[in-house]
Amino acid sequence: MKRKVLVAAALSVVLAGLSALWLMKWCSGPAGTGVERVVTVERGWGVRRIAEVLEDSGLVRCRYYFLWRYSRLDGPPTLQAGTYLLTGEMTPDSILDILTEGLVVPVATSWVTLVPGETLDRSLEDIARQTPLSPEDLDSLARDSSFLASMGIPCLEGYLFPETYEFADTLDAEEVLRRIVRTGKERWPEDMCHPRTGLTTHETVILASIVEKEVMVDSERPVVAGIFLERLRRGMKLESCATVQYALGEPKARLLYSDLEVRHPYNTYLHPGLPPGPICSPGYPSLLAALYPDTTTGYLYFVSRKDGSGGHLFASTLAGHSANVRSVRER
């Protein structure tokens, strides 16, 4: 009798061991469901959450086996967030390899080019045209004070840094705009947050935006920035045609004297000081000029040469400026 009990116990142990081996082998194989799933692993998900999703999606037979295999990995490594294409014919070990190496599904992208001197409205149009984003979403965020405050800027005009960007088509409008603003701040000159001119950072962006629209030749940008800064210090009006163009809304090939009298906060022929905000997105050379203006020339006036060079004639006195204006008109 005792021998029979021992034999039965031994058989039970053997059967339990065989069952465990069979179960282990079964769990280690592909789910065999034939499904193909796009699985998105969100940032912050732990391995338990991922295992549950894989089991619920029919991609692994047993979440606990997946967790055990993960615990046996060296480290164990981080399972990377992203979007993956997985099938029911993959083994748990294969899925672990894909998740640890971050072999995500390639995401379609769009290229966006923002050029220096573009207004906010034009920049938003460019973004909407070159991405799947809607103009309405972009425009709404541009006027959302809480969104702007979260980025530490008073407005979006002037802060969409001119650059060529590649954006995943899965990004929303907020993520795209945040990246553009963040890129601009990362590219700012070193002293941008602590200007030595007496202007604030925002005022420096405003000045840079005016320089951007007034000047075509990079070597002249610090000179023109110096002229505007000196005018500010003397209490003179800036008298920038670029600010009048902004006030008019639609650029004109040639301003009339009546245009200079338009009642608008951005008309610096009527209002002293800087305008209320930037008039475009300045490029790096203009930001650099506003931050380090050339104030050694003594110039207070400038007028376009109108000879196709994009350059200007400069003067220190009103009489000299008037002479330069006459010489340009006589050409």
Q: Return d(Cα 223, Cα 230) in angstroms, integer.
A: 11
Which of 243, 236, 159 lies closest to 201 in space, CA to CA?
159
Give the helix/strand (H/E) hosting 204. Answer: helix 201-214
Question: Taking all residues of the chain, what is their mean pLDDT, rounded to a whole number?
Answer: 90
The tens digit of pLDDT for each residue in 208-238 reads 999 999 999 999 999 999 999 999 999 999 9
The mean pLDDT of 190-205, rounded to a whole number, is 94
Beta bridge partners of 315: 301
Q: According to the model, what pLDDT value does residue 158 have?
A: 97
- pLDDT above 70 (res 2): no
What DSSP string runs through 270-325? TS-SS-SS-SS---HHHHHHHHS---SS---EEEE--SSS--EEEESSHHHHHHHH
314 in helix, strand or coil?
Answer: strand
Greater confidence, 74 or 109? 109
pTM attached to this predicted model: 0.75
168 in helix, strand or coil?
Answer: strand
Domains, the chain? 30-106 (3.30.1490.480), 109-187 (no CATH), 207-329 (no CATH)
